[in-house]
Amino acid sequence: MSALVGLGVLILSFPIQGILLYSIFGAVRANIRTVDQRVRIMQEVLVGIRSVKMYAWERFYQHKISELRTQELSMVRKFS
């Protein structure tokens, strides 16, 4: 009898686990997009460092990178 109760609990918990995993994977996918944007901008800065320095675009890129990093950290905190 107790085995049937345990089996019932397992069967009822599968949909809940599916919903939770779906939401977790969605959050991870969104976080990966943000990380990709930040890495792309960092690579642009590193490749064109002379242009960035010559035209004094440091603050512009610093603001964009820190904004993306803040989004990334908020997603990580929300995910945790």
pLDDT in tens, 8-61: 888 989 999 999 999 889 889 989 999 999 999 999 999 999 988 888 889 999
In Å, how far are 20, 39, 67, 80 from 61, measured between CA atoms? 36, 12, 10, 28
* Predicted confidence (pLDDT) at residue 78 exceeds the cutoff of 90: no
Rounded distance between C-alpha atoms, residue 26 and residue 24, angstroms: 5
5-43 in b/e form (b: 16+ CB < 10 A) is eeeeeeeeeeeeeeeeeeeeeeeeeebeebbebbeeeee
Residue type at position 49: I
Residue 58 contacts residue 24 (beta carbons within 8 Å): no
The per-residue pLDDT for 80 is 78
Is the pLDDT score of 79 beyond 90?
A: no
Ranges of each domain in the chain: 24-79
